[in-house]
């Protein structure tokens, strides 16, 4: 038995096929979901992938959050379905208030694409159990609006509750507050991050590292054991 | 509203004496007379609009055609070529049932006027060419040339161009895997913004731009048509047809990458369901080009109702609609029974699609507006029978003097300290410095198939996950070499791109080119152009790599000063298994460094002569295409059989530039020994062609030497991968930290 993991395609989604491949390489079954369709096809988890949904001309993720598919995703995420938001997916999760804070344009005002060093701060979420807490990993990062911001109280709360899931190491690529690269909700089923684990699943391709694969094996392990 | 009567075909026939603004639209008197002769009457305003844009230099290649013929006449026999020159892009067979289409184009002039949009729409245009062949676009590359790096205007143009390429390409989800960034004062008012793209399809999915089958529907889909990109038409509209109308026509088009992304997905879905008979993208000359080309390449005629074109601005005149260069539009020919399904797919992707006409069994292109026939032409006369010029050309009087100003006689460094100082100057000079500040603004990971990306010698993309089949592309050009000798310069551009593909382990298959030159009305420029084409065509013939298509950009000059003649050549290669690819970076300490090829005292046009002496003179490096072919064979075999772990082509900056780049990328230094028979300066800085530096594991040393010996390629052991310095024994030592600081600081310091 394996797990069915949905990948939503919005108009302007870019990494949907890559994410499906990563899910497949981890041993799970990727299921394509369409933005106009509320039906999640009985998947066990959902990934919101990177891209520029609806062109992101208003604000990253602001339109996607109101799409038909998100109605169901929001509802089921609240009742515990694991959801991973990568880059644009993270932006959508904050716009949908499934995760606190929001994303602004990079402080240097340029798009940035690089192999980014991160520290895994929380290895207990649905998507991170195959990492060790404190583990240092390299994951490709590519974004225009990646500067994570929240008010001080929220940031303190995230820190206190261990909900900062990933932190940038050595170099903060976008001016994110407290070097935050990714966060999780209280229950640990929802994770959002700016870097792209689906681009680090095969030797030879991209940076040639496979540091992103544990995202997908973690969720598979959780779902199969459930 | 206009009180002028609609200028129909009938009206034109009855009013032969009406003066039309043909000169303002860029037609010459004899060209206008030729139009009248073709039609047997004066053209209507709409017809004039179509002829004027389609007979422009940009669309008709009227100055370059007589020379470009050589690419066909001298084309080498190649089993790989599936579609050659003349279609939207060439198509090459790469095996396992896959075909690859690729092309390089220019968007030079708009990018100077409005850097962001100019560069962005350049990417958009080349990507639509790729889709129009039936392929999914898989990568883009961007060869760029700017004025002096420290000129204030470069700081205006470059960041805009880079942001535009990133803003558009990143939003399409296309990895940017290669290209170049070159600075030279000659490009000050004329930056060269060339854009290339690669697409992949199965053989049976190749589509062509032709409208066949009477009764088939012509569908315009994508963005609405607006007033952008209309140059001449505004004159036409305001002076002849409607004096009362305000001018509102931006000359540079504005791109919407989101719309283009939808266009890609919906087109590919339509292809997958085999709904499309013929297809053409709307680029330069917009609907004029798409309708006349589709019709003239097909078997019948075409009837179009212009009133059905969805507009962004309802006040547009028919002439303007025909000339508009609004972006993100395509035109498909679809059988009547498949139209509904086609429209459904467009609707799924929220793409506007409208039937605007149909294929007829006649041989005329007829266009209607408000019930009147405003165009009735033989489409071939618009699309293919444009004027052809035999422009005069002559070797410029200054060429001899330039070649006599020998760079080999420039003062050379005499001591180890001077050498060291010049190495630092070289690797930190804008042209030789790291371009990561620029390339990090491009997504090179998306699609999850990028094997190699800049600063590797060529970009490489996996196209089949199970077999590991991949393609590589490199683009190169050296305007300084071409200025010294355009024939040799064009060949050196090809040789370098060919070598760069082979260095990564891929077999070079085919060529696309972007020929950037000054004004064809200057006989000296025309000579450079003629020589460059002759050189490139000869070299392609000898290397067995056919030219599959490309683009000519003329008039890159401000006043009297033309740019350096700059043929940019893209070479596409194939690799059976991307796991065998060879990267630039040094992999392991202790590996032996071998220099392949012959090193001569060749400094004409070199980076050294530019950086140290601000000099351009003498002759470029010798061209030896048989040597290039042999070197490529050795590099490919060595890569396939695991005999080398890293390789770097030697070109501008010479051996020392290559060593520094491989060392910095790998984080491992090198100890070098000047080989016997060479002095340290020539060893480090010479730009002799046909050379590469490879790192050989000790276990492979014997086998590698035997292979080179057996095939007759000169090979010299020049050092070892070692430590955290670059040391030239007996001369100098530079730490990697010092080199990294020098190499990486320059560009951000100038442009960030």
Q: Which of the four pLDDT bands, split at 50, 70 and 90, describes residue A192? A: very high
Residue-level pLDDT at B25? 85
- Cβ-nearest to A18 among B439, B440, B448: B448
Question: For residue B738, what is the enclosing H or E element?
Answer: helix B736-751
Verify whether the Cβ–Cβ distance A111 to B449 is below 8 Å.
no
CB contact under 8 A, B441 and A113: yes
Q: Taking residues B744-752, what's their average pLDDT?
A: 94
Peptide bond into B455 cis (omega under 30): yes
- Of the pLDDT bands very low, low, confident and very high (cuts 50, 70, 90), residue B526 is very high
pLDDT at B247 over 80: no
- Residue A196 annotated to the active site: yes
A-interface mutation test, from B123, B137, B443, most A Cβ less than 10 A away: B443
- Mark whether A87 is an active-site residue: yes
**Residues 142 through 161 of chain A touching chain B, CB cutoff 8 Å:** 142, 144
Nearest to B450 among A21, A56, A205 (CB): A205
Cβ contact (<8 Å) for B173 and A202?
no
Is B441 in contact with A111 (Cβ distance < 8 A)?
A: yes
- Dihedral angle at the C-alpha atoms of B611, B616, B619, B625, nearest 10 degrees? 60
Whether B190 has a binding-site annotation, put simply, is no
Q: Is B481 annotated as a binding residue?
A: no
pLDDT confidence tier of residue B78, bands split at 50, 70 and 90: confident
When pLDDT is averaged across residues B470-487 and rounded to a whole number, the result is 98
Tracing tokens 């609009």 back to the chain, one arrives at B49
In this prediction, residue B239 carries a pLDDT of 41
CA angle B157, B178, B570 (to 5 degrees): 100
CA distance B751 to chain A (A): 12
What whole-number distance in Å separates Cα of residue A58 and Cα of residue A66? 13
What is the spatial distance between Cα B727 and Cα B723, in angstroms, rounded to a whole number? 9
* B9-63+208-383 placed in CATH 3.90.650.10: yes
| Average pLDDT in chain A | 96
Which positions in chain A touch B444 (Cβ < 8 Å)?
Answer: 113
Is residue B632's pLDDT more than 50?
Answer: yes
Instruction: Decide if B620 contacts B481 (C-beta within 8 A).
Output: yes
**Using one digit for the tens of pLDDT, what is the confidence trace for B171-187?**
999 999 999 999 999 99
Q: What six digits make up the tokens of B62?
A: 């009227």
Helix (H, G, I), strand (E, B) or coil at A72: helix
CB of A111 within 8 Å of a chain B CB? The answer is: yes
Q: In the prediction, which pLDDT does B559 show?
A: 82
Work out the average pLDDT over A162-176: 97
Residues of B in contact with A205 (CB under 8 A): 448-451, 462
Task: Give pLDDT, residue B85.
Answer: 75
CA distance B629 to chain A (A): 27
Percentage above 70 pLDDT, chain B: 97
Smallest Cα–Cα separation from B330: which of B254, B255, B267, B256? B267
Residue B248 confidence (pLDDT):
40
pLDDT grade, residue B4 (50/70/90)? low
The span from the CA of B717 to the CA of B613, in Å, is: 31
Average pLDDT over residues B129-137: 92
Chain A partners of B449 at a C-beta cutoff of 8 Å? 205
Count of the separate structural domains present in chain A: 1
Residue B214: burial class (beta carbons within 10 Å; 0-12, 13-18, 19+):
middle
Nearest by CB to A55, from B258, B440, B752: name it: B258
Who contacts B525 (Cβ-Cβ below 8 Å, separation ≥6)?
A: B517, B518, B519, B554, B557, B562, B565
Cα–Cα distance for residue pair B155/A7, rounded to 1 Å: 41
Partner-chain contact B451 A140, CB within 8 Å: no
Q: Is A110 a catalytic residue?
A: no
A54 contacts in chain B (CB < 8 Å): 258
| Whole-structure pTM value | 0.95
Compare all CA atoms of chain A with the CA of B351 and give the residue at the minimum distance. Answer: A11
Summarize pLDDT for B261-279 with one digit per residue, the tens: 999 999 999 999 999 999 9
Q: Which of B257, B448, B469, B639 to mutate to test the interface with A (most CBs of A within 10 A)?
A: B448
Under an 8 A CB cutoff, do A142 and B462 touch?
no
**Do B170 and A17 lie within an 8 Å CB cutoff?**
no
Q: Is B550 annotated as a binding residue?
A: yes
CA distance B749 to B250: 34
**Would you state the pLDDT for residue B79?**
81
Cross-chain Cβ contact A55/B167 below 8 Å: no
pLDDT tier, B250 (very low <50, low <70, confident <90, very high otherwise): low
What is the arithmetic mean of pLDDT over B601-628? 98
Between these two residues, A99 and B74, which has the higher pLDDT value? Answer: A99
Query: Annotated catalytic residue: which of A49, A87, A95, A199?
Result: A87
Interface test with B, best of A25, A50, A87, A204 (most B CBs within 10 A): A204
Mean of pLDDT values over B98-121: 92
Q: What one-character-per-residue DSSP string does B156-213 give? A: HHHHHHHHHHHHHHHHHT--EEEEEEEE-GGGSS--EEEEEEEEEEEGGG---S---S
In angstroms, the separation between the Cα of residue A170 and the nearest Cα of chain B is 17
At CA B363, angle to CA B304 and CA B38, rounded to 5? 95
Q: Is A14 on the interface with B (CB under 8 A)?
A: yes
For A117-156, the pLDDT digits (tens) are 999 999 999 999 999 999 999 999 999 999 999 999 999 9
Give the whole-angstrom CA distance, residue B711 versus residue B108: 44
Which residues of B belong to the active site?
58, 107
The more confident residue out of B436 and B227 is B436
Q: pLDDT grade, residue B26 (50/70/90)?
A: confident
**Strands, DSSP E only, in B322-407?**
329-334, 353-360, 365-369, 372-377
Å between A21 CA and nearest CA of chain B: 9
Examine the pLDDT at B412 and tell me if it is beyond 60: yes
Give me the total of CB pairs closer than 8 Å, taking one residue from chain A and one from chain B.
87
Please state, for a pLDDT cut of 90, what percent of chain B lies above it: 80
pLDDT at residue A166 greater than cutoff 70: yes
Q: Is B322 helix (H, G, I), strand (E, B) or coil?
A: helix
If interface means Cβ-Cβ distance under 8 Å, which residues of chain B face chain A?
A: 163, 166-167, 170-173, 256-259, 261-262, 349-350, 439-451, 462, 465, 578-579, 581, 752
Answer yes or no: do A142 and B450 touch at CB < 8 A: no
Express each pLDDT in B27-60 by its tens digit: 889 999 999 999 999 999 999 999 998 998 888 8
List Cβ neighbours of B710 (8 Å cut-off, separation of 6 or more).
none
Flag if A11 and B262 touch (Cβ within 8 Å).
yes
Sequence-ordered list of residues with C-beta below 8 angstroms from that of B455, at least 6 positions apart, any chain? B434, B435, B436, B439, B584, B661, B665
Q: Which residues contact B365 (CB under 8 A, 6 or more apart)?
A: B291, B292, B295, B296, B301, B302, B304, B375, B376, B377, B378, B379, B382
Q: Does A27 touch chain B (CB under 8 A)?
A: no
The pairing of strands B592-596 and B450-452 is unpaired
**DSSP state, residue B412:** -
Lowest mean pLDDT among A108-117, B295-304, B657-666, B732-741: B295-304
Contact A15 B163 (CB under 8 A): no
Contacts of A53 in chain B (CB under 8 A): none
CATH number of A30's domain:
3.40.50.880
Task: Check the annotation: does B724 bind a ligand.
Answer: no
Q: Give the domain extent around A135.
A: 4-225
Nearest neighbour of B261 by CB, restricted to A12, A22, A108: A12
Predicted local confidence at residue B245, as pLDDT = 45
The answer to whether A113 contacts B440, with C-beta atoms less than 8 Å apart, is yes
Q: Which residues pair with B740 in a beta bridge?
A: none
Task: Check B441 against A112: CB less than 8 A apart.
Answer: yes
Contacts of B443 in chain A (CB under 8 A): 111, 113, 142
Residue A216 in contact with partner chain B when CB distance is under 8 A:
no
pLDDT 10s digits, B312-323: 999 999 999 998
Residue B312 dihedral angles phi and psi, to the nearest 5°: -90, -20
User: Taking a contact as any Cβ pair under 8 Å apart, which residues of chain A between 162 and 201 contact chain B?
Assistant: 196, 198-199, 201
Q: What is the pLDDT of residue B284?
A: 81
Q: Do B257 and A55 touch (CB under 8 A)?
A: yes
Q: Which residues of chain A make contact with B259, given a CB cutoff of 8 A?
A: 55
Closest-approach residue (CA) in chain B for A143: B443
Residues B397 and B262: their CA atoms lie apart, in Å, by: 53
CA distance B355 to chain A (A): 24
**Model pLDDT, residue B560:** 83
Consult the annotation and say whether B107 binds a ligand: yes
Local structure of residue B687 (DSSP, 8 states): -
* A55 in B contact zone (CB under 8 Å): yes
ipTM of the complex: 0.95
Lowest mean pLDDT among B82-86, B201-205, B555-559, B564-568: B82-86
What are the residue boundaries of the structural domains of chain B, listed by start?
Answer: 9-63+208-383
* pLDDT score of B283: 82
Query: Is the CB of residue B197 less than 8 Å from the CB of residue B571?
Result: no
- Average pLDDT of every residue of chain B: 93
- Strands (DSSP E) found in chain A: 4-9, 29-34, 45-48, 83-86, 102-104, 112-120, 136-143, 147-149, 164-168, 180-184, 190-193
């Amino acid at each position: 038995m394996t797990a069915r993991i949905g990948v939503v395609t919005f108009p302007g989604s870019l990494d949907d096929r890559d994410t499906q491949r990563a899910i497949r390489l981890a041993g799970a079954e990727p299921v394509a979901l369409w933005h106009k369709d509320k039906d999640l096809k009985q998947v066990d988890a959902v990934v919101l992938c990177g891209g520029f949904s609806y062109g992101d001309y208003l604000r990253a993720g602001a339109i996607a959050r109101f799409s038909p598919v998100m109605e169901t995703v929001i509802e089921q995420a609240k009742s515990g379905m694991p959801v991973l938001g990568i880059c644009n997916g993270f932006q959508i999760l904050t716009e949908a208030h499934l995760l606190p804070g929001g994303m602004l344009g990079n402080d240097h005002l340029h798009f940035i694409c690089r192999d980014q060093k991160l520290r895994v701060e929380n290895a207990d979420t649905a998507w991170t159990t195959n990492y060790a807490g404190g583990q240092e990993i390299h994951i490709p990062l590519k974004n225009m609006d990646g500067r994570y911001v929240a008010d001080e109280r929220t940031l303190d709360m995230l820190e206190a509750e261990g909900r900062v899931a990933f932190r940038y190491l050595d170099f903060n690529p976008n001016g994110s507050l407290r070097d935050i690269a990714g966060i999780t909700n209280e229950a640990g089923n929802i994770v959002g991050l700016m870097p792209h684990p689906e681009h680090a699943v095969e030797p030879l391709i991209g940076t040639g590292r496979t540091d992103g694969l544990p995202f997908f094996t973690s969720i598979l392990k959780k779902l199969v054991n459930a | 509203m206009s009180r002028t009567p609609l200028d129909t075909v009938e009206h034109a026939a009855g009013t032969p004496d009406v003066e039309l603004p043909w000169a303002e639209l860029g037609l010459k008197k004899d060209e206008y007379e030729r139009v009248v002769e073709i039609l047997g009457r004066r053209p209507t305003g709409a017809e004039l609009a179509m002829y004027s844009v389609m007979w422009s230099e940009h669309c008709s290649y009227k100055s370059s055609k007589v020379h470009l013929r050589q690419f066909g006449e001298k084309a080498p026999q190649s089993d790989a070529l599936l579609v050659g020159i003349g279609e939207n892009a060439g198509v090459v067979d790469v095996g396992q049932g896959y075909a690859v289409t690729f092309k390089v184009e220019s968007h030079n002039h708009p990018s100077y006027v409005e850097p962001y949009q100019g560069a962005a729409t350049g990417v958009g245009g080349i990507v639509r060419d790729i889709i129009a062949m039936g392929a999914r676009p898989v990568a883009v590359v961007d060869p760029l040339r700017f004025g002096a790096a420290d000129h204030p205007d470069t700081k205006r143009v470059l960041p805009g161009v880079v942001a535009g390429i990133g803003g558009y390409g990143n939003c399409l989800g296309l990895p940017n895997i290669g290209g170049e960034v070159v600075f030279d004062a000659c490009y000050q008012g004329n930056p060269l913004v060339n854009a290339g793209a690669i697409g992949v399809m199965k053989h049976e999915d190749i589509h062509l731009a032709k409208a066949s089958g009477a009764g088939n529907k012509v569908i315009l889909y994508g963005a609405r048509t607006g007033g952008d990109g209309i140059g001449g038409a505004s004159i036409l509209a305001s002076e002849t047809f409607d004096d009362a109308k305000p001018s509102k026509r931006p000359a540079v088009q504005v791109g919407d990458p989101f719309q283009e992304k939808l266009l890609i997905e919906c087109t590919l879905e339509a292809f997958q369901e085999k709904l499309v008979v013929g297809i053409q993208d709307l680029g330069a000359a917009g609907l004029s080009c798409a309708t006349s080309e589709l019709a003239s390449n097909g078997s019948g005629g075409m009837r179009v109702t212009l009133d059905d074109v969805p507009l962004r601005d309802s006040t547009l005149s028919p002439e303007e609609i025909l000339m508009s260069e609004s972006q993100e539009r395509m035109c498909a020919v679809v059988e009547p029974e498949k139209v509904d399904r086609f429209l459904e797919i467009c609707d799924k992707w929220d793409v506007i699609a409208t039937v605007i006409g149909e294929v007829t069994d006649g041989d005329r292109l007829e266009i209607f507006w408000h019930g009147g026939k405003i165009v009735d032409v033989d489409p071939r006369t618009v699309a293919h029978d444009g004027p052809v010029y035999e422009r005069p050309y002559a070797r410029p009087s200054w060429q001899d003097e330039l070649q006599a100003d020998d760079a080999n006689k420039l003062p050379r460094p005499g001591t180890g300290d001077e050498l060291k100082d010049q190495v630092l100057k070289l690797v930190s000079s804008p042209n030789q410095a790291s371009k990561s500040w620029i390339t990090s603004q491009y997504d090179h990971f998306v699609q999850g198939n990028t094997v190699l990306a800049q600063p590797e010698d060529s970009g490489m993309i996996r196209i089949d996950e199970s077999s590991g089949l991949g393609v590589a592309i490199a683009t190169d050009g050296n305007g300084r070499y071409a200025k010294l000798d355009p024939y040799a310069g064009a060949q050196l551009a090809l040789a370098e791109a060919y070598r760069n593909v082979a260095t990564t382990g891929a077999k070079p298959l085919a060529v696309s080119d972007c020929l950037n030159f000054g004004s064809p009305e200057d006989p000296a420029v025309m000579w450079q152009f003629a020589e460059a084409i002759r050189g490139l065509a000869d070299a392609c013939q000898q290397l067995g790599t056919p030219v599959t298509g490309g683009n000519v950009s003329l008039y890159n000059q401000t006043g009297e000063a033309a740019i350096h003649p700059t043929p940019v050549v893209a070479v596409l290669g194939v690799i059976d298994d991307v796991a065998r690819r060879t990267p630039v970076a040094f992999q392991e300490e202790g590996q032996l460094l071998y220099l392949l090829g012959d090193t001569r005292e060749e400094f004409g046009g070199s980076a050294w002569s530019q950086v140290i002496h601000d000099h351009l003179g003498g002759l470029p490096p010798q061209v030896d295409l048989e040597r290039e072919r042999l070197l490529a064979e050795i590099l490919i075999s060595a890569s396939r059989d695991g005999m080398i772990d890293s390789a770097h082509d030697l070109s501008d900056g010479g051996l020392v530039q290559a060593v520094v780049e491989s060392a910095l990328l790998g984080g491992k230094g090198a100890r070098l020994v000047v080989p016997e028979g060479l002095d340290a300066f020539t060893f480090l800085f010479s730009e002799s062609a046909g050379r590469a530096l490879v790192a050989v594991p000790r276990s492979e040393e014997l086998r590698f030497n035997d292979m080179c010996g057996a095939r007759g390629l000169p090979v010299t052991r020049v050092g070892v991968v070692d430590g955290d310095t670059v040391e030239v024994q007996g001369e100098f030592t530079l730490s990697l930290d010092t080199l990294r600081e020098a190499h990486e600081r320059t560009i951000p310091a100038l442009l960030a």
